[in-house]
Amino acid sequence: MLFLINIIVAGLLSGLMYALVAIGFVLIYKASGVFNFAQGAMVLLSALTFVTLNEHGLPFWLCFIITVGVLIVAAVLIEFLVLRPLVNRSPDTLFMATLGLSFVIEGLAQLVLGTDVHQLDLGIPDVPLKLYGLQVSDFDLFTAVVSILLVAVLALLFGKTRVGISLRAVADNTLAAQSIGIRLPYIWRIVWSVAGVVALIAGLLWGNRQGVQFSLSLVVLKAMPVLIIGGFSSIPGAIVGGLIVGATENLADIYIGPLVHGAVSDWFAYILATAFLLIRPNGLFGEKPIQRV
Amino acid sequence: MSASKLAGAVHFGATLSHGPLLSVRRAAILIALIAVYGVIPILGNDYWLNSLIIPTIVMGLAGLGLNLLMGYAGLMSLGSAAFMATGAFATFNLLLRLPFLPLPVVLLLSGLIAGLGGLIFGLPSLRIRGFYLSAPTLGAQFFLTWLFQTYHWFSNNSMSLVISAPRLEIFGYDLSSSRGRYLLVAVTAGFLLLLAHAIIRSRIGRDWMAIRDMEVAASVTGVPIARRKLQAYVVSSVFLGIAGALWAFAYLGTADSNTFSLDKSFQVLFIVLIGGSASLFGNFIGAAFIVLTPIVLDILVPVLGLDNYIDQGSIANIEPIIFGALIIFLLIKEPDGLASLFSRTIRALSIWPLRR
């Protein structure tokens, strides 16, 4: 029984890491209806920038600030060069554009910052401790706290600030928001910058665990089933989706894996998400879209 | 992807049946046929055939498969390479285990086996659409390559999990020379292009376009949505499966499941986006672009004197930047891809002395 609980807890904790990436998607999807495939590339870009600066001997806080600056510049450029010319085009077109964007960002990041694998040490030990028989490390607890803080900050940002409220207005009804004087390009720049900061946090946590390298950008693919299960437009949904994917993936690897002679975590989440779509096409917390003819 | 394109397609059909005997279009097709089946096999040397022409045609064929699904039926897929892998592994096993079957039959059967895979992974499209389809198709990508890697039966229990063609011959003729492989690829591509053209101009193709342009309206006018969507997945996977078999055995010679990784799926997707969605010919332009870019970069960098600054690894990073930037540029300026640019140029040239 303790073994089972340990598997579930380990799964839930890795699920939190998925959720952190998924939150970045939700932010952009809510504000502009774009499924931003480039979020994974942003995770890679931010982690690479941070690590490179850190290796040049800059202190942690300065690296963080400079990286956030880089991400804001990237957000402004993306809004100006990609989103603005493609305004009013179909969601599929925008999805394809962010796919192209992800290749540009990955290529540029690796061209400028190199393709080496970097070690990133945030100074938090990742050694499992026994806590009432559960295998949990300091780093796991840190990740959990960061996730909770992030969700709280985002909730405050969206609920209480002027920017956040106009952001929700844009998400709710773009045309009406524009007609009362909310400037769309401004909102997009803000939202892409915030998504960039979320990508940085996710990149630091993932980078600490598995090193900063190209495979970080592949995390984006695992965020897909997380979003489908949680719903594309809900931050709590992203968290819950991440937890479900993390836990079931770990369970499947332990209990189904031996039956089929191999690790199933490569594909299990996608099949789970597909099965989920057949039952609840809008996810757990998603809104039901209304179709007009 | 608008209604005007649908109208254009109908109009185009009309001009083809009542047009003049020798139009520019027909002349172009005739010249292309002579070039592909007459000139290239005679003049092409091994390097050109092996590293440029064969991969271009095969990837163009894969692009064609995805284009039928994405450009015509409006259904997205990020798992094209999985169906290519299915085709390749099916061909390997059929040639190995049923040695009495001739190669064309094996290719056709492999296509159909890949089509069966497409049918299964196409089922979720009945409930979902748009980028939501990335989940089941990514599932196909990871599940099928995992399957071929984990169960060694598929690679005949070889230690390295690599499959290589047991024999490449047709009715006693050996096709293993580069010219023979070229002819195999070119003839297969010719048949599949004709088939694709026929499908698009049939009821099925028109229904696909109706579903792409507006699904609800199509279902109201009596288009059997579920059936047509599944047909799109099956047809697309058949094309992809045959392309995968040709990629493995007519181009590479050997393959394993890593040959058909997610990168290959993205390449096929790029071919469609660059070449032009809802275009048959555009796939081959897109494929040529994908095949040529790394080669041109390799040649161009030393010529421009940049090889002191850019090493081999960096060139590999320039490629995705070029592809990504080109896709964004084309989506903004020319959503119908290079094919539309190309055909506009041809049209302008065909009325050249008399143009405005």
DSSP calls for B144-197: HHHHHHH-GGGGTT-TT--EE-S--EETTEE--SHHHHHHHHHHHHHHHHHHHH
Q: Phi, psi (5° rounding) for residue B66?
A: -70, -35
Other C-beta atoms lying within 10 Å of the C-beta of residue B197: 12
| A·B CB contacts under 8 A | 120
Tell me the nearest-neighbour CA distance from A150 into chain B, angstroms. 26
Q: Do A86 and B132 touch (CB under 8 A)?
A: no
pLDDT of residue B242: 96
Q: What is the pLDDT of residue A3?
A: 82
Alpha carbon distances (Å) from B232 to B121, B208, B226: 12, 8, 10
A2-279 to CATH, choices 2.60.40, 3.30.70, 1.25.40, 1.10.3470: 1.10.3470
Residue-wise pLDDT for A17-31, tens only, equals: 888 889 988 888 888
Residue B194 C-alpha from the chain's centroid: 14
SS3 B202: coil
Least confident residue range of A39-48, A145-154, A165-174: A165-174
The pLDDT value recorded for residue A140 is: 83
| Closest Cβ opposite residue B324 in set A104, A291, A293 | A104
Say which range, A81-90, A202-211, B132-141, B167-176, has the weakest mean pLDDT.
B167-176
Predicted structure pTM score = 0.88
Q: So where are chain B's domains?
A: 3-258
**Share above pLDDT 70 across residues of chain A, in percent, rounded to a whole number:** 96
Work out the pLDDT band at A215, boundaries 50, 70, 90: confident
- Which residue of chain B comes nearest to A273, CA vs CA? B135
Position A287 scores a pLDDT of 66
What lies within 8 Å, CB to CB, of A6 at 6+ separation is A133, A134, A135
- The answer to whether the Cβ–Cβ distance between A277 and B127 falls below 8 Å is yes
* A289 near B CB under 8 A: no
Q: Using CB atoms, which residue from B124, B313, B318 is nearest to A277?
A: B124
Given a cut of 70, is residue A66 above it in pLDDT? yes
- The residue with tokens 């059997």 is B224
* Residues 6 or more apart whose Cβ sits within 8 Å of residue A284: A229, A230, A231, A234, A237, A240, A241
pLDDT for position B9 = 44
| Exposure string for A49-76, b = 16+ CB within 10 A, e = fewer | bbbbbbeeeeeeeebbeebbebbbebbe
What pLDDT does residue A17 have? 85
CATH assignment of B3-258?
Answer: 1.10.3470
For B188-227, the pLDDT digits (tens) are 999 999 999 999 999 999 999 999 999 889 999 999 999 9
Whole-angstrom distance, CA of residue B274 vs CA of residue A127: 48
Report how far residue A115's alpha carbon sits from residue A39's, in angstroms, rounded to the nearest whole number. Answer: 19
Amino acid identity, position B98: L
Instruction: Classify residue B224 by its DSSP letter.
Output: -
Average pLDDT over residues A127-131: 71
Q: How far apart are CA B153 and CA A125, in angstroms?
A: 44
The predicted complex's ipTM stands at: 0.88
Q: What is the pLDDT of residues B56-99, one digit of tens each?
A: 999 999 999 999 999 999 998 999 999 999 999 999 999 888 88
Task: Look at the block and give the residue holding tokens 């960096």.
Answer: B314
Residue B162 CA, distance from chain mean position:
23
CA atoms of B121 and B138, how far apart (whole Å):
10
The predicted pLDDT at position B325 comes to 94
- pLDDT tens string, chain B, 356 residues long: the values are 444 444 444 444 444 445 556 677 777 788 888 888 877 777 778 788 888 899 999 999 999 999 999 999 999 899 999 999 999 999 999 988 888 888 899 999 999 999 999 999 998 888 877 778 888 899 999 999 999 988 888 888 777 778 877 777 777 777 778 888 898 999 999 999 999 999 999 999 999 999 999 988 999 999 999 999 999 999 999 999 999 999 999 898 888 888 999 999 999 999 999 998 888 989 999 999 999 998 888 888 777 776 666 666 677 788 889 999 999 999 998 888 888 888 888 777 777 776 55
> Residues A232-287: pLDDT tens digits?
878 888 889 999 999 998 888 888 878 877 778 888 889 888 888 878 777 777 66
Inter-chain residue contact A91 with B1, CB threshold 8 Å: no
Contact A209, A35 (CB under 8 A): no
Out of B74, B124, B220, the one facing A274 most closely (by C-beta) is: B124
CB contact under 8 A, B138 and A103: no
Residue in chain B nearest A224 by alpha carbon: B135
Chain B residue set in contact with A, beta carbons under 8 Å? 1, 74, 76, 124, 127-128, 130-132, 134-136, 138-139, 142-143, 146, 150-151, 214, 216-217, 220, 262, 266, 269, 273, 313-314, 317-321, 323-328, 331-332, 335
* Beta partners for residue B331, in sequence order: none
Report yes or no: A210 at the B interface, CB cutoff 8 Å: no
Domain range list for chain A: 2-279
Structure tokens at A40: 């994974």
The CA distance from B140 to B134, in Å, is 10
Instruction: Tell me the two tokens of residue A93.
Output: 């077109």
What pairing do the DSSP bridges indicate for beta strands B163-164 and B254-255?
antiparallel
3-class SS of residue B313: helix
CA separation, residue B114 to residues A241, B84, B237, B267 (Å) = 32, 8, 6, 19
Q: Note the pLDDT of residue B322.
A: 92
From chain A residues 38-57, the ones with a CB under 8 A of any chain B CB are none
What is the C-alpha to C-alpha distance for residues A133 and A292, in angstroms, rounded to an integer? Answer: 55
Query: How close does chain A come to B168, measured CA to CA in Å?
Result: 33
* Chain A residues with CB-CB distance to B134 below 8 A: 224
**Do A91 and B146 count as a contact with CB atoms less than 8 A apart?**
no
> Is the Cα torsion angle A15, B131, B318, B240 positive or negative in sign?
positive
CA distance B196 to B200: 6
- Chain A residues touching residue B143 (CB < 8 angstroms): 266-267, 270-271
